[in-house]
Amino acid sequence: MSRRPHASGYFRTDYGEDLALLPTRLERWALVGLLVALLGLPLVASPFLIDLGAQVFLAVIGALALMLLTGYAGQVSLGHAGLLAAGAFTVGILFKEFKAPFFVTLPAAAAVGALLGVVFGLPSLRVRGLYLAVSTLALNFLVAYLGGEYETRRGFSTGIVVDPPSLAGVSLSNPKAWYVVLLAAAAGTLLLCANLLRARSGRAWAAIRANETVAETLGIGVASYKLLAFVWSSALTAVAGALFAYWRGFVSVEAFSLFLSIQYVAMIIIGGMGSLAGAILGALFVTLFPYAIEAALGTFARGTAYAGVLFAVNAAAFGAVMIAFLLLEPQGLIGLWRRLATYFLLWPFRHRPAGGGRR
Amino acid sequence: MQLAVNILVLTAIYALIACGYVLIYRVSRVLNLAHGELMMLSAYLLLWTASLFAGHPLTAIAAALALSALVGGMVYLFLLRKLTGEMALAAVLTTVALGVLLRGATVLVWSAQQQYPAQPLGASNSALALPGGARISVWAALLVATTLAVYAALFAFLHWGRWGMRMRAAGQNPLLAAQRGINLHAIYALAWSLSTLTGALAGILIALDSGLGQTMAIIGLKAFPAALVGGLDSLAGALLGALIVASAEVMLIHFVDPLLSEVVPFLVLIVVLMNRPWGLFGTREELDRV
């Protein structure tokens, strides 16, 4: 992981310090503060905000998984919705057919996700770039079709209803409880991703993304590490899908359209490629975006019937924002932040010292 | 017999759409995933010109086609040109975003309801009886004829036309082409215009035949496998790819399951990508292959 220098200089003396997730005391306290704030939020916030928080945490899990695959290992996927659908349908089917409990369905969803990860990843061993994007797109349609087929064949054409799971004897039907569970899941995913990235696997993925031939020459098993990236990413995504199924209490193939895949890709672009913080920012941005649009419409077009066109306004604005980021700020929100931080770090100077500046 | 006619019509639809993907990819190595949406936009433009030139159906169609070609050029000039030199993927994602934008915008302007541009044009849609008991609608027959004409024109243009030759040169080696004095931006803009124009022909004829709604963008996306099966940089390939995909789709729908309609093209796509990723007639070296 690349690190920006701290204002006072570069004082690390061993690799352990280089690998530390939170190297400074300030960062550790900031994390504690953030956690307290996030955990305290449900005590004061309205039900709407709590629901929004849960949505953001779900999106964060999916975006982190996609960032692992696309932002770090460099493998493009347009089939993210298919993987979410796979996780959700694993829960739905196991619940409907076998009345399977929470602690069975979640690992099952992860296993299905991992298996699909291999399937999604196999084309990546033969094709790259555009062609890989297209093959994952095709698999997205395939998974959605299988889900739809199950729904119609079994007579759940409107969707599968899933009862809330019970955790340690307590039924998880309370939004506040869900908020905490999803926060924990998102935090766990973040920790897992950060650890994967600072271990051997992370360095191997960085090498593969930079140059496959060089990576192979360095003794990295390109095929196996690519598959590993697909497996981790897909398993995490499927778990996100499974959590989504339980949280919504309802599984239907309509929820997993191509647009959802595009939204996840937009999250990592808008957030900033190659940064876990970027994935979180992007998930936050894309999840809150429709609500911001709705609020803006409510303010500017008060009284007019905008509800019918809300989806259309949303899609149009979303496309425009995505284009704006791609054209104007390819580094995403995290790029904006870094530029700002660098500005203040170097102030009153405008540029790094010539020749000697450590990046 | 009806089955054969169905296959023929679907082949024509896919082929007419697929040549748009091929044109842009062959010339600029960009995959335009907004092609379906651009095609839908063209059909909606016809709806507008039809009300503008009421009583002159041919003028309305010509105006819609001209506008579409203009839109295609604009998309290149204002969006894709800015991405010159960036990762190929950024360009693809930009077209994806453009597609989302266009879907939203068309609903905002023309509403999401199914509409029939044939009505304001005063055109009827009668069915022709073919020998063997099969039937084909007038517009579908016109679509087949248009596809043949467009392919013939494109072949002639690319092989003998001065600008067509420049387009092929730009596609083969942009650097050398630019050194030779070919204006690459003009060539790329022309490719986008032509591609959108062929897409507009498809969109307009489909809309006249069976109405116009948001599903048209999906038809556009389903034609993409046809382009890829034949090889993304080969026009002849697109024709054959369309035939393969359309036959597979019609047969499977008829004999196995109507629900398969949405996925058949993508199943074919996966099979081809696994075995022969550069397609039937595609250039093997061109493929960014591992």
Q: Do B100 and A262 touch (CB under 8 A)?
A: yes
Residues of B in contact with A312 (CB under 8 A): 103-105, 107-108, 112
Residues of A in contact with B83 (CB under 8 A): 326-327
> What pLDDT does B285 receive?
56
Q: Do B97 and A152 touch (CB under 8 A)?
A: no
Question: pLDDT > 90: what percent of chain A?
Answer: 40
> What pLDDT does A138 receive?
86
Q: What is the mean pLDDT of residues A103-114?
A: 92
Query: Which of A72-76, A125-129, A260-264 shows the highest mean pLDDT?
Result: A260-264
Closest-CA residue of chain B to A144: B263
> What pLDDT does B270 receive?
83
Query: Which of A117-121, B52-56, B69-73, B270-274 shows the highest mean pLDDT?
Result: B69-73
Which residue in A119, A122, A145, A306 has the most chain B C-beta atoms within 10 A of its own C-beta, making it the best mutation to test that interface? A145
Of B83, B101, B263, the CB nearest to A319: B101
> What pLDDT does B289 receive?
42
Residue with more model confidence, A194 or B283: A194
pLDDT in tens, B211-268: 888 888 888 888 998 998 888 888 888 999 999 999 998 988 888 877 777 788 888 8
> What pLDDT does A125 receive?
79
Residue with more model confidence, B145 or A307: B145
> What pLDDT does B90 receive?
85
Of B79, B108, B289, the CB nearest to A309: B108
Closest-CA residue of chain A to B94: A323
pLDDT in tens, B142-157: 899 999 999 999 999 9
Residues of A in contact with B262 (CB under 8 A): 141, 145
> What pLDDT does B67 receive?
95
Q: What is the mean pLDDT of residues B32-48?
A: 92
Q: What radius of gyration, in Å, describes the C-alpha atoms of chain B? A: 19
pLDDT in tens, B185-212: 999 999 999 999 999 999 999 998 888 8
Mean pLDDT of chain A: 86
Give me the phi and psi of A146, to 5 degrees please: -60, -40
| The listed CATH number (1.10.3470, 2.60.40, 3.30.1890, 3.10.350) that belongs to domain A27-346 | 1.10.3470
Which residue in A141, A211, A262, A304 has the most chain B C-beta atoms within 10 A of its own C-beta, making it the best mutation to test that interface? A141
Question: pLDDT > 90: what percent of chain B?
Answer: 43
Q: What is the mean pLDDT of residues A107-135?
A: 85
pTM of the predicted model as reported, rounded to 2 decimal places: 0.89
Q: What is the mean pLDDT of residues B51-66?
A: 87
Q: What is the mean pLDDT of residues A297-321?
A: 78
> What pLDDT does B230 receive?
87
Residues 68-107 of B with CB under 8 A from A: 79, 82-83, 86, 88-90, 92-94, 96-105, 107
* pLDDT > 50? residue B32: yes
The band of A168, judged by pLDDT with boundaries at 50, 70 and 90, is low
Q: What is the mean pLDDT of residues B65-72?
A: 95
> What pLDDT does B257 receive?
76
* pLDDT > 50? residue A2: no
pLDDT in tens, B164-184: 999 999 988 889 999 999 999
Tell me how close the Cα of B228 comes to any Cα of chain A, in angstroms: 9
Q: What is the mean pLDDT of residues A192-198?
A: 93
- Does any CB of chain A come closer than 8 Å to the CB of residue B286? no
Q: What is the mean pLDDT of residues B125-136?
A: 75
* pLDDT > 50? residue B290: no
Label each residue of chain A as H, E or C.
CCCCCECCECCCCCHHHHHCCCCCHHHHHHHHHHHHHHHHHHHHCCHHHHHHHHHHHHHHHHHHHHHHHHHHCCCCCCCHHHHHHHHHHHHHHHHHHHCCCHHHHHHHHHHHHHHHHHHHHHHHHHECHHHHHHHHHHHHHHHHHHHHHHHHHCCCCCCEECCCCEECCEECCCHHHHHHHHHHHHHHHHHHHHHHHHCHHHHHHHHHHHCHHHHHHCCCCHHHHHHHHHHHHHHHHHHHHHHHHHHHCEECHHHCCHHHHHHHHHHHHHHCCCCHHHHHHHHHHHHHHHHHHHHHHHHHCCCCCCHHHHHHHHHHHHHHHHHHHHHHCCCHHHHHHHHHHHHHHHCCCCCCCCCCCCC
- Could you tell me whether strands A160-161 and B135-137 are parallel, antiparallel, or unpaired per DSSP bridges? unpaired
Mean pLDDT of chain B: 87
Range name among A92-106, A265-279, A281-295 with the lowest pLDDT average: A92-106
| Alpha-carbon dihedral A333, A338, A340, A343, rounded to 10 degrees | -160
The band of A359, judged by pLDDT with boundaries at 50, 70 and 90, is very low
Give me the phi and psi of A6, to 5 degrees please: -90, 160
Residue with more model confidence, B123 or B140: B140
- Does any CB of chain B come closer than 8 Å to the CB of residue A291? no
The band of A110, judged by pLDDT with boundaries at 50, 70 and 90, is very high
Q: How many residues does chain A have?
A: 359
Residues 146-205 of A with CB under 8 A from B: 148-149, 152
The band of A356, judged by pLDDT with boundaries at 50, 70 and 90, is low
Q: Do A130 and B103 touch (CB under 8 A)?
A: no
